[in-house]
Structure 1
């Protein structure tokens, strides 16, 4: 068991202004207070210690003890990582929470095989398209150079007619500057974090996705903690999930207002675009099932059952 004054190092790719980082700061504050200072967590935000997409490996190997990761980055490891990235699979926060509940036991199992443990899940606000010119119909997507962030959104972008490219969050400003991209599909929060108004004028909100981030810890480091410290971390992690979902809802509203305040023109997607996004989602869900084994498919079926029972 760990002795007094254990210090963990934690990494996240997001800046201090992000609600994800603010949520983690509150989690750390609660853990340090409730542990009486026996467990301290040194958070390194904004890619300052480890690049965002390398955090999972760094936690797994014990280079750091904790980190925040985006599930969709790891779709090549397991289809479950990209399930919440399918268009319209979880179109609102209630559905996103139900999907998280259905996925959590599976993630506990597969993460445990790699010396990892998930303690917090937080959904992103709904998504939308950032463009230099206005979009009125699906035809306006054709040929635009779109930055996306996961294999499912890559597929979605291609099916909609974009020239889609996966890029890490931190590379977005440079990609605009060099002409690699001229549009984004992401949340209003990321639009603020990257100061999208420096590069685009229009934001068309579609909803579509509530992808999740996950806070993970090195399981061996976790098990070295005294039993009461383990409980403090887990309970604070559960609070951070619920708080994070609430912060995400609030951020979704506030960030859209911030885009407007910085001169962006904000609109809701017309029915023609929502209809095409729905068709893309159904196609991608059927394709996802073909990549999934029976255990993974059962998670989706359990979620769809929860969704139906709730009347969503």
Structure 2
């Protein structure tokens, strides 16, 4: 019964040349919309596998948390076989293990080159951690740098005081609270009703996630604080993967490799595309961050990085030290 627990379904049998050919279906959800860069990654990966597997393996993507699984719950869902694969924001996975919060540490990796180097450096550690949860990495997706969407312009550090802001992991929540805001760690699915009813008046996010969710309808200001350039992780249940015939595993591996290359290429032009769409929807983009805002966030960020170093233990601290050697 291993195949049932592994999170994939045999949907039928086709007989040919005297042998049985299993038809396998994998669900692969993400909490983000199909238009956000992680959503594009899931759609791209599924499309490649479905095209090449000849119907023997079908990836069924879903978006906007329609499967009811948010990023922080994805590792458990894949491990238990509720779904065979999934895409999750790595910062939210910090609730599972602090190591996964590395890419979303404040002001650590804020360029594509730095985000790529940090991801490559940490990948073996991510893989080891995920193996302990019965899964393997398919591919990584970089996010454009996080900024602050807000109802009112963020024109001074005083505007941070008491600001009801959605954050995306424990570290960003601590940073914003230390800077004087009133932060709440919320998935996008949970945040949007609060944005709509006005109980949340600011959101820490890239222009990408925000563009996909039409934040501009409620929060018409975006301050380019370059908080972090985090990643998402796409993983697969290891037993489901290993149950595939060798040729299908090769198809999955090749599709994952191509999807990762696509994601890291797409990020190069993504910021300009997002900003063009945001401006078309009357978003005021502030590239010049007020000095006192930058100072308040930087001060709060330093404390959060040191706190993460302690929580992540010797292995996490060693990764951070290696990265910071440049």
TM-score, length basis structure 1: 0.92
**1:100-143 deviation line (CA, Å, top 9, x unaligned):** 11111111111111111111111110111111222222222111
Determine which of 50, 55, 60 is the counterpart of 1:37.
Answer: 55
Match of 1:237 in 2: 256
Matched, 1:141 2:175: no
Q: Distance in 2 between matches of 1:181 and 1:80?
A: 28
CA contact (8 A) 2:176 2:297 kept: no
Q: Distance in 2 between matches of 1:192 and 1:77?
A: 28
Determine which of 168, 173, 178 is the counterpart of 1:159.
Answer: 178
Match of 2:320 in 1: 300
Deviation at 1:257, TM superposition (A): 1.5
Alignment of 1:2-13 (within 5 A): 3-13=21-31
Matched, 1:47 2:65: yes
Match of 1:131 in 2: 150
Match of 2:234 in 1: 215
CA contact (8 A) 1:142 1:161 kept: yes
Match of 1:287 in 2: 307
Aligned pairs, number: 306
Deviation at 1:4, TM superposition (A): 3.7
Deviation at 1:249, TM superposition (A): 3.1
Q: Distance in 2 between matches of 1:38 and 1:151?
A: 41
Q: Distance in 2 between matches of 1:230 and 1:70?
A: 25
Determine which of 79, 90, 93 is the counterpart of 2:109.
Answer: 90
TM-score, length basis structure 2: 0.88
Q: Distance in 1 between matches of 2:196 and 2:38?
A: 26
Q: Distance in 2 between matches of 1:102 and 1:190?
A: 25
Q: Secondary structure at the match of 1:203?
A: strand
CA contact (8 A) 1:89 1:281 kept: no
Match of 2:124 in 1: 105
Match of 2:268 in 1: 249
Deviation at 1:49, TM superposition (A): 1.7
Deviates more, 1:264-273 or 1:121-130: 264-273
CA contact (8 A) 1:59 1:116 kept: yes
Deviation at 1:205, TM superposition (A): 1.0
Q: Distance in 2 between matches of 1:119 and 1:150?
A: 22
Decide whether aligned partners of structure 1 residues 302 and 257 sit closer, same or farther in structure 2, where only a CA change above 3 A counts.
same
Q: Please, what is the CA RMSD of the aligned residues?
A: 1.8
CA contact (8 A) 1:172 1:194 kept: no
Q: Secondary structure at the match of 2:64?
A: coil
**1:136-187 deviation line (CA, Å, top 9, x unaligned):** 2222211111111110110111121110011121123310233321111111
Matched, 1:22 2:79: no
Matched, 1:69 2:84: no
CA contact (8 A) 1:159 1:280 kept: yes
Determine which of 160, 174, 187 is the counterpart of 2:206.
Answer: 187
Q: Secondary structure at the match of 1:292?
A: helix
Q: Secondary structure at the match of 1:64?
A: coil
Decide whether aligned partners of structure 1 residues 281 and 235 sit closer, same or farther in structure 2, where only a CA change above 3 A counts.
farther
Match of 1:60 in 2: 79
Decide whether aligned partners of structure 1 residues 23 and 75 sit closer, same or farther in structure 2, where only a CA change above 3 A counts.
closer
**1:8-47 deviation line (CA, Å, top 9, x unaligned):** 1111112222232222222122222333332211112221
Deviation at 1:261, TM superposition (A): 0.8
Q: Distance in 1 between matches of 2:101 and 2:225?
A: 19
